[in-house]
Amino acid sequence: MFEILDRDPHSAARRGRLRTAHGPVETPAFMPVGSHGSVKGLDPRDLEEVGAGMILGNAYHLYLRPGVEVIREAGGLHRFMHWEGALLTDSGGFQVHSLAALCKVREEGVEFRSHIDGSRHFLTPERMIEVQEVLGADIIMTLDDCPGLPASRERIGAAVRRTIDWARRCLEAKKRPDQALFAIVQGGLEPDLREECVAALVAMPFPGFAIGGLSVGESREGTRETAASVAASLPDLAPRYLMGVGKPGELVEMAAAGIDMFDCVLPTRNGRNGTLFTSEGTLNIKRSEFRHDERPIEEGCPCHACSHFSRAYLRHLYQSRELLGLRLNSIHNLMYYLRLMEGIRISLKTNRFREFREVFHRSGLREARAGLSESG
């Protein structure tokens, strides 16, 4: 399922290839977030054009709306959303805790009220595997207990032991051989609890592992240290997925720590808020200084927004609350993220990751990618 193609001699970074039923995914990879079966404001053609190889859906959201039977009747999530690339679905453990009303965690599963209509639901590990098998994603996730931080050590320890038990139950419930089931490592910022979780999960036959329970209230430094430590403890030949992180610089550093897969809502959420990623830092398209600016968002960016429209026009769209502006902003931001991942992969293939990493932090993505071109 996963092969490592190149390694950086100066860090834990590696370039790999993840094979799925819907084609190979080159890693390190960034997955645009389509929790409801749609990456907000974009259609599958947009995602193909920016180079997305895999996108993420969320079983919690899709279970609540439109419902499992609707997607079953459509022939699975790929056909329902007309996406021909690879798909990963998160089981929704984080969403149950963060969105649902009156959430009660038991050993058997999670009882909660829907954040949509207040209806009562009880989800077990077995039920979430059943849901994800109907959705039909290439990679599915175990149900985990994901408390927000800060939390007491007692609460985090209980979540770790529950996550381990639920992972075992998910494995036992899984029936479809064409889906890969990844386990999720919990443990907050407690090193020994993370180690306990890793040790128990790697003893089970999971083909890949995710690092969960971060970006839920802890410091950025805590996120980086914990993710790097857990990644180093996971099996070398299994893909490692860091859930919900993060900003471009964080992705570079986490790739250096040996992470293979990322997802985050930042590129599309920031785009909808008028914040654009560039080599000079973030650009707030709402600012009056762009009213007469005929330059693209970023020179040299091949995305549809930069190839056809000016900063002045994008500012006009945002100020006029035109939906086209939100779409174009999101296209640019996703292209930035995916070109960042591509740059990391090229630098690993050409043994120039250390230089790419240094130039990126000093001068931005454009200069870092230019250095790769100059190297031939």
Residues designated catalytic: 90, 263
Q: Which token pair is 326?
A: 């939100």
Cβ-proximal residues to 334 (8 Å cutoff; 6+ apart), any chain: 32, 39, 42, 47, 50, 52, 267, 268, 271
Query: Using CA atoms, how far apart are residues 272 and 327, in angstroms rounded to an integer?
Result: 8
**Maximum Cα–Cα distance across the chain:** 61
Q: For residue 158, give the nearest of 95, 107, 124 by alpha carbon.
A: 107
Query: Using CA atoms, how far apart are residues 89 and 84, in angstroms rounded to an integer?
Result: 15
Q: For residue 31, give the nearest of 67, 59, 11, 55 by alpha carbon.
A: 55
Query: Using CA atoms, how far apart are residues 135 and 71, in angstroms rounded to an integer?
Result: 7
Query: Using CA atoms, how far apart are residues 157 and 93, in angstroms rounded to an integer?
Result: 16
Residue 280 CB-half CA count within 13 A:
6
User: Cis omega (within 30 of 0) on the bond before 28?
Assistant: yes
